[in-house]
């Protein structure tokens, strides 16, 4: 009986390891991705593959399969990790703070902390040189039809009204000119905070 159990366990080991080894580099995976196996068993396999260098654990229950380069291991991009977490949690995400500024081209500064609003759980994921911070956002942050205005609200909130100058207005003008759905854009602008609406609506009307 003992030999049969040991053989069965070994077979499961090989199967789960093969599944993970077959994943492409740059993959993000979760302990919960393998519901057909017992959680403790999955944890032991993930720990073994992390110890062997195939995986990197970046947070509780979250692992990545890094790319290999001549400079060493390269983790997936912050965007890819955040999108994977959002998909797993069936949640929406939205860059905020300096992350929103960076996404829109309103800042070239690479943030040390990548901050996002989420409809899912709050968490912090520590990477090699920076961290990802997911904060619970209120529903109104996610009610815009266009991603541009949702991002712009977060970006302008970070810049603050008194700091908006010619450079920022020019970037906003270019972003609005490239947005194809002007009807949705107009609806979204009407939903912006009053001071933001006063800045952005004239730009839309002059496009």
Residue (of 84, 30, 86, 92) closest to 59 by Cα position: 30
Whether the full predicted model's pTM is greater than 0.85, yes or no, is: no
Tens-digit pLDDT profile for residues 8-54: 455 566 689 999 999 999 999 999 999 999 999 999 999 999 999 99
Q: What is the pLDDT along the chain (207 residues), one digit of tens a residue?
A: 434 344 445 556 668 999 999 999 999 999 999 999 999 999 999 999 999 999 999 888 999 999 988 888 898 999 999 999 999 999 999 999 999 999 999 998 888 899 999 999 999 988 877 899 999 999 999 999 999 999 999 999 999 999 999 999 999 999 999 999 999 999 999 999 999 999 999 999 887
Ordered structural domains, the chain, with CATH: 2-74 (1.10.10), 78-140 (no CATH), 144-205 (no CATH)
């Amino acid at each position: 009986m003992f030999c049969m159990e040991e053989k069965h366990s070994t077979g499961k080991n090989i199967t789960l390891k093969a599944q993970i080894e077959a994943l492409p580099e740059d993959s993000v995976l979760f302990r919960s991705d393998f519901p057909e196996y017992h959680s403790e068993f999955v944890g032991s396999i993930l720990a073994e593959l992390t110890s062997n260098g195939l995986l990197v654990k970046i947070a509780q229950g979250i692992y990545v399969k890094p790319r290999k380069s001549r400079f060493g291991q390269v983790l997936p991009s912050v965007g890819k990790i955040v999108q994977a977490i959002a998909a797993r949690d069936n949640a929406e995400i939205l860059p905020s703070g300096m992350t929103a500024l960076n996404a829109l081209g309103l800042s070239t500064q690479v943030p040390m902390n990548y901050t996002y609003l989420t409809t899912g759980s709050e968490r912090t994921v520590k990477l090699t040189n920076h961290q990802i911070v997911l904060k619970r956002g209120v529903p109104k942050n996610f009610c815009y039809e266009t991603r541009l205005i949702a991002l712009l609200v977060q970006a302008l909130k970070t810049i603050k009204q008194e700091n908006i100058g010619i450079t920022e207005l020019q970037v906003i003008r270019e972003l609005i000119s490239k947005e194809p759905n002007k009807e949705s854009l107009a609806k979204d602008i009407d939903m912006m905070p009053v001071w933001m609406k006063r800045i952005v609506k004239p730009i839309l009307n002059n496009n």
